[in-house]
Amino acid sequence: MRFKASTIFVTGGAGFIGSAVIRHLLRNTHARVVNIDKFTYAANSDSLPGTTDNLNYAFEKQCICDGAGLRHLFAKYQPDAVMNLAAESHVDRSIDGPGEFIQTNIVGTFTLLQEALRYWRTLSNEKREQFRFLHISTDEVFGSLGDDGFFTETTAYAPNSPYSASKASSDHLVRAWRETYDLPTLVTNCSNNYGPYHFPEKLIPHMIIKGLAGEPLPVYGDGKNIRDWLYVEDHAKALTLVLEHGTVGETYNVGGRNERTNLHVVESICDLLDEVAPRSGAHRDLITFVADRPGHDHRYAIDASKLERELGWQAEENFESGIGKTVRWYVDKQPWWRAILERGYATKRVGLSQ
Ligand code: NAD
Ligand code: DAU
């Protein structure tokens, strides 16, 4: 029985990946889930349908930088595991305002580690053995690849943006709390996620929403930068598997073996929109090349063979199946993203460092 009688803290559970993890845990395991989320602009309770009546679910509005607040929650719920997904996640925003990234991603992870350690030390030997702290990170900590090669778990860290530098720092803290204090931690580093409930600032939902509005589709630079796309529900399954069966102290790369140039991604979205939401001209006509992102990493590509080999994980979606599902989801679920626009989110360019 998966996670029977277990309580799992999911920080950032109202965000894109955190909400997918919570939906997956509630649907497929017996875990009691406590969603700990500060509820920033990126949070959305509409991404957790049906949770309010679920006896296995609790929500706590809580910033991970607040040690006293976290201490109270550890005492109240006595968790068996923590999955740390709370973060500032958008590279462009980190260019304009790195301070929040330093606070949440570094200071917040430090504070969460300290409170997890304080709580863990109060547990029985048996409970200490079973406790897990899983930190969710990104492939961006490894920097940028040339045209060949892949990121593995032993690739040296070389972050290039304020976002990725803050994530790299948090990864190092998690490792140090294991090495120094024996806290049972694990780290995952994942490539670009996409799928339902993705906040409209990120490439794929941004292009779908602008395409549906008949607005220009802004491709940074020449569109030849490459990302390695992973369907978010495949990621949620991978994280659950790592929590259940991963080896303490290890890191696991998660990726879907779906490298695509940004231009290919945008053209694919355009072609799908031509089918499901035709306009008078082709959606490709809306593609506009705009000024590049400062410090724009050229290519990310994950070698996920450790996760596949050791834990038996396999991505179920490839890019073509996943992008088709995603475009249809945004066309069908317009109230979900229109509510975000109505709350004041403007789909305008940020991150030019001006
Ligand atoms: P997101 O921006 O969609 O959601 C982040 C969530 O964290 C939001 O609900 C927000 O309210 C919450 N949060 C922010 N600051 C907080 C704080 N101080 N205290 C408590 N909660 C706070 O992010 P996401 O895309 O779901 O990413 C989740 C995690 O996965 C992040 O750590 C990110 O670095 C990592 N990651 C993301 C991707 C991706 O493609 N989206 C890929 C690899 C790794
Ligand atoms: O690789 C994992 C990372 O993927 C995560 O750690 C981050 O949290 C997540 O946001 C994502 O970072 P990226 O910077 O790769 O994602 P973003 O969606 O912002 O951009 C993807 C690519 O598309 C990138 O090369 C920049 C480009 N882009 C983006 C936008 C928003 C455009 O060309 N036009 C756009 O309008």
Task: Kindly state the percentage of the chain with pLDDT values over 90.
Answer: 98
Average pLDDT over residues 282-307: 98
DSSP string, 49-71: TT-TT-TTEEEEE--TT-HHHHH
DSSP string, 221-280: TTS--EEE-EEHHHHHHHHHHHHHHPPTT-EEEE--S-EEEHHHHHHHHHHHHHHHS--S
* pLDDT tens digits for range 124-161: 999 999 999 999 999 999 999 999 999 999 999 999 99
Predicted TM-score of the model (pTM): 0.98
**Res 233: pLDDT:** 98
Residue 307, pLDDT > 80, answer yes
Q: How far is the CA of 283 from the centre of ligand 2 (A)?
A: 21
φ/ψ (deg, to 5) at 338 = -65, -35
Q: Which residues line ligand 1 at a C-beta cut-off of 6 Å?
A: 11-12, 14-18, 37-40, 42-43, 63-65, 85-89, 104, 108, 136, 138, 167, 190, 192-193, 199
Nearest CA, atom 31, ligand 2:
203
d(C-alpha 42, C-alpha 157), whole Å:
27
Closest ligand to C-alpha of residue 205 is 2
CB atoms within 10 A of CB 181: 14
Q: How far is the CA of 262 from the centre of ligand 2 (A)?
A: 9
Read off the amino acid at residue 14.
Answer: A
Please count the residues of the chain. Answer: 354
Give me the catalytic one of 88, 115, 140, 233.
Answer: 140
**Quick check: is 303 catalytic?**
no
CB 251 within 8 A of CB 192: no
Give me the catalytic one of 88, 115, 139, 234.
Answer: 139
**Res 1: pLDDT:** 61
Domain 7-194+229-260+298-319 = CATH 3.40.50.720? yes
* pLDDT tens digits for range 158-198: 999 999 999 999 999 999 999 999 999 999 999 999 999 99
List the domain boundaries for the chain: 7-194+229-260+298-319
180: CB partners within 8 A, 6+ apart? none
- Reference 221, options 149, 297, 156; nearest CA is 297
End-to-end CA distance of the chain: 53
Q: How far is the CA of 238 from the centre of ligand 1 (A)?
A: 17
- What's the mean pLDDT when you consider all of the chain? 98
**Res 80: pLDDT:** 98
d(C-alpha 196, C-alpha 16), whole Å:
8
Nearest CA, atom 15, ligand 1:
87
**Quick check: is 244 catalytic?**
no
**Quick check: is 140 catalytic?**
yes
**Res 323: pLDDT:** 98
Average pLDDT over residues 325-344: 98
Residue 354, pLDDT > 80, answer no
Residue 136, beta-bridge partner list: 188
Indicate which atom in ligand 1 lies nearest the CA of residue 18: 26
Helix axes 334-342, 203-213, angle to 10 degrees: 90
CB 13 within 8 A of CB 40: no
- Joined tokens for residue 150: 């892949």
**Res 353: pLDDT:** 85
* pLDDT tens digits for range 5-32: 999 999 999 999 999 999 999 999 999 9
Average pLDDT over residues 78-97: 98
d(C-alpha 257, C-alpha 303), whole Å:
8
**Res 295: pLDDT:** 97
Nearest CA, atom 42, ligand 1:
192
